[in-house]
Amino acid sequence: MASANTLCKNLLNVNDVVIENHDFYSDSDGVKHLRIKARPKKWKKNFCPTCGRKCLGYDQATTIGKIWRGLDWGGILVEIECPTHRIICPEHGIATADVPWAYPGSRFTKDFDLTVAWLATYLPRSTVSHYMRIDWATVGRCITRTLNDIEPERSRRLNGLVNIGIDETSYKKGHKYITVVVNHDTNTVVWAAKGHGKTILEQFYRSLTPEQLSSIKVVTGDGARWITECVNEFTPECERCVDPFHVVEWVMSALDEVRREAWRDAYAEAQDISKEHPRKPGRPKSDDPISAKVTESKTRATEIKTSTFALGKAPENLTENQRLKVEMIAATNPRLYRAYLMKEKLRLLLKIKNIDEAEKELKKWLWWASHSRIPAFIELNKKIRRHKEHILNTIRLGMSNARIEAINNKIKLIVRKAYGFRNIQNMLDMVYLVCSDLVIPLSNRKSKSAQSA
């Protein structure tokens, strides 16, 4: 039969400790606690919590012990009580001596911090806070300590970068953004920071060594000028690619502008007919040809107004009702239908694999757009001409920003589960933890590699 000391050591999942005493008590709320009085063994005393160096003692242990929370045991709160003292480190100065069961500065055991972080990657923070009986803000601190333990040197993510994607995503109302850099080859976030723009992205490039900068060969992103300026300044030899998703987004915005103009024109036409030919009092609408014409114009305006999804989808994916809407637009509004055809032409040429054929088709499309007499597409023609080389690079290399868009969705899910973040660093730590290949180790469990074997 195991002794009580052995049982306590296994519950705490720590070695190199001496169990001096243990007792049960109930607090004012009737919650049961198991208080374990322990201390590190002699060869585990006087270590610096930052560098782990054996140091000289600075003062004597306090008479009142410090308390750490451990994982609950069958619903009973487990606590560790230990007298603490300070040490003096040649490098880090005076600090509280390290204990083997907790991270530096933490009032919880290592297993507790790791469990909280693991739960937070799958559950809302409010749920984790309630289940683990800790404050909402404490969850963020547990995540930070876990990340620092699993990956103490985050700069290693910046080694060997070849294909990277850059994008910004909002995390809060009021145009609050973070800039994210993703490694396309590993599908992981390698760098993230609050804000967006050239000054923020420069921080990323300035954090790279000359060897790390020289290894970058491809940079994908949207058409933002600040991305292009940073690429030209820091990595002029690499290929700059504009993601096809954003190119289609540009043409969709131009098409939607034309659709709104067509809707306003159709609605204004119905209003003009009503004003020029007012219906006589007492005459039924069914017998009035003017009323029928007004109704027809309003119906056409409504069909155009509600055709956003029909015009945005590929023809092969249209439902029957959406196909009828497109056919109605083709019959009644040639200008809007021409804009729809230009959208489809651009979308299809971005899928061409042969670079020479793609360049030829893009040249034809640019001529068509410049001669379309549609202001929105004339402006789009100028924009695409500015990014023509970057678009052709994308087609030639077969690159896409789909991975970073998927990671942006993950980030939005992280924010939504947490119901927002007050501390931006907590959010960035959560992004590094979730949007990577890091595995949070849980006590008394096989690793994933062992389970797969």
Rounded Cα distance between 443 and 110, Å, is 10
Average model confidence (pLDDT) across the chain: 85
Amino acid at 196: H
Backbone angles phi, psi at 68, to 5 degrees: -120, 140
Tokens found for residue 85: 């003292």
87/380: higher pLDDT? 380
pLDDT of amino acid 170: 87
pLDDT of amino acid 400: 79
Rounded Cα distance between 444 and 79, Å, is 19
Buried b (16+ CB within 10 A) or exposed e, 25-41: eeeeeeeeebbbbbbbe
List pLDDT tens digits, range 263-273: 888 888 777 66
Q: Percent of the chain beyond pLDDT 90?
A: 33
List pLDDT tens digits, range 130-161: 999 998 889 989 999 999 989 888 888 899 99
Q: What angle do CA 152, 155, 158 make, to 5 degrees?
A: 140
Domain residue ranges in the chain:
1-103, 154-243+401-441, 244-397
pLDDT of amino acid 448: 56
Amino acid at 96: T
Q: What is the DSSP letter of 108?
A: B
Residue 449 has pLDDT above 50, yes or no: no
Query: What mean pLDDT is predicted for residues 418-442?
Result: 86
Rounded Cα distance between 137 and 134, Å, is 8
List pLDDT tens digits, range 206-237: 999 999 999 999 999 888 899 999 999 999 99
List pLDDT tens digits, range 320-371: 988 988 888 888 889 999 999 999 999 999 988 899 999 999 999 999 999 9
Asked if 401 and 165 count as a contact pair (C-beta separation under 8 A), the reply is: yes
Rounded Cα distance between 360 and 390, Å, is 15
Rg (CA), the chain: 32
Q: Which CATH class is domain 154-243+401-441?
A: alpha beta
Q: How confident is the model at residue 43 (pLDDT cuts 50, 70, 90)?
A: confident
DSSP string covering 297-313, please?
HHHHHHHHHT-HHHHHS
Rounded Cα distance between 158 and 279, Å, is 73
Residue 385 has pLDDT above 90, yes or no: yes
Phi-psi region of 410 (alpha: psi -120 to 50; beta: other; left: phi over 0): alpha
Residue 436 has pLDDT above 80, yes or no: yes
On the 0-12 / 13-18 / 19+ scale of CB atoms within 10 A, 188 is middle
List pLDDT tens digits, range 54-66: 888 888 776 677 8
Q: Percent of the chain beyond pLDDT 70?
A: 92
355-370 vs 375-386: helix crossing angle, rounded to 10? 140
